[in-house]
Amino acid sequence: MPDLSAHAWWLGLAAALCAGLSKSGFGPFGLLTVILMAEILPARESTGVVLPLLIFADLLAVRSFQEHASWPALRALLPATGVGIITGWWIMPAIPSEFFGRTLGWIILCLIGVIIVQRLRPQLLATITTHPLLGMGCGWAAGVTTMIANAAGPITAFYFLSQRYSKMVMVGTGGWFYCAINISKLPFSWELGLLNGKSLLLDLILLPGVLVGFCLGHAFLKRIPQNVFEWLLILMAAAAALRMILVS
């Protein structure tokens, strides 16, 4: 049994709950998982604990939403994401975490600004949002951020929103996307020493929290209108980005 205080166990359970919520359609909750786990463990070690929790939630998402996945979107994102994962693994030992978090936060805020402009004046950004390089750029950025900080949720949220996918397509595509890339990160995380027996035991204890979070999000997703879902996603991503800027 990991030696944690009662307060730390509650934070860990909340992190697991957010991991489940993030994979049921509310991606920015994944950043809360990262933030809460970093309150319990050192930032580097917390990354190793978060990854198996996310993989378990990814498997739940694939099982529940697989028929809604957009295979063209996956083909646009995954190759560049693989390159991004290798890039993140290569630079992770050298990059200052505080610099990365603040920079990523500002990038996410800029992307959210683009999304809001697209909502208000869609014709202004039609060339950008339909260009194939957008998928490659978002895929690479998602690969780097997920390898370094398990924080690619706002990047993929931006891409899915820019393509005007329905909420079910967003969740179904995200399930397959993150399942593939998170599993591919396992050997890199093991080589970096982020995964070990102690971290995996903690994951095993927290798995029920992931399941509860996923079930709650799944039930809420069915009841929320598309437009409300999109704006909620935008607001959550903006809040997560501000947290990264102010705290890093």
- pLDDT tens digits for range 180-205: 988 988 888 888 788 888 889 999 99
Most confident of 20-34, 111-125, 226-240: 20-34
Amino acid (one-letter) located at 154:
P
pLDDT digits (tens, 9 = 90+) for 89-140: 888 777 665 666 676 677 767 777 766 766 676 565 556 667 778 888 888 9
Task: Output the average pLDDT for the chain.
Answer: 82
Identify the H or E element spanning 65. helix 43-65
- When pLDDT is averaged across residues 46-62 and rounded to a whole number, the result is 90
Q: At what angle do helices 132-149 and 97-120 cross, to 10 degrees?
A: 150
pLDDT interval class at 234 (50, 70, 90): confident
Percent of the chain with pLDDT strictly greater than 90:
22
For residue 35 the two structure tokens come to: 């933030």
CA terminus-to-terminus distance, the chain: 31
**Which pTM was predicted?**
0.75
pLDDT of residue 41: 82
Residue with tokens 């060339």, as numbered in its chain? 127
